Amino acid sequence: MALSDHLRELRARIIKVALILAVGFCVALVFYDRLFDLVYNPYLDAQRALGSHRTQGVTEGVGAGFLLYFKLSGLAAVVATSPLWLYQIWAFILPALLPREKRWTAMFVAIAGPLFILGVVIGYVTLPKGVQILISFNHSGVLNLVEFNDYLSFFIHTLLMFGVAFEIPVFVVMLNKAGVLPARVLKSARPWIVLGIFVFAAAATPSTDPFTMCMMAIPMCILYGIAEVIARVSDRRKEARKPYADLDPDQPSPLP
């Protein structure tokens, strides 16, 4: 297509994304109370474990509740409609990809999506324990006031880090398929990679407690092990497809 056609296509995709987000935002406004409970329940679980005399949730400013109403609804709209607006981006890029690239990209999306959701779910399950440990560092005679906007940022950061962490094995497999990371390199570097996973989990989890760190690091180690096995099988298939792969490299070839 000509450049003007590409720009018109881009404009049409942007308009569709805007309409999708607008509809999602309106729907989120209707279900705001349920969204609020979904986000706030991990803190309430931590509060019940600590006792209401130790911590209390607050909002700051006259218009804080109003801004929170729209902020949380907008966030929910972006997350809930992500398959639709991501498809619009995918549909814009798709014509430029080769058939092999389309196949690998589709496989990547099919695997990366569920893994990201799995990471978010595990992050949500472990969040109350992390919040409880962080608040417990306060002296028993001091009331901890949790401003909801700060808590919302903490909530998003935690779930996002868990989701991204579960994507690392997918990138390992993709780099192996591209020939950047052979299986022998993954095997030799395995102890350092496992150590790096635990260091990453310790730095990525805001709660700094070993329970939350292990809930991120142990599944990552398991997924890395699966990725290494896939890379090993893939490298063997590549070697088998090479000409003269079954010949001994030390054996001289016959002369005609």
CB count in 10 Å sphere of residue 54: 19
pLDDT of residue 25: 92
Q: What is the mean pLDDT of the chain?
A: 81
Q: What is the pLDDT of residues 49-93, one digit of tens each?
A: 888 778 888 888 788 888 888 888 888 888 888 888 878 887 787
pTM of the model: 0.73
> By mean pLDDT, which of 10-19, 183-192, 242-251 is the weakest?
242-251
pLDDT of residue 209: 66
- Asked whether residue 143 carries a pLDDT value surpassing 80, the answer given is yes
pLDDT of residue 234: 80
- Asked whether residue 244 carries a pLDDT value surpassing 60, the answer given is no
pLDDT-derived band at 253, boundaries 50, 70, 90? low
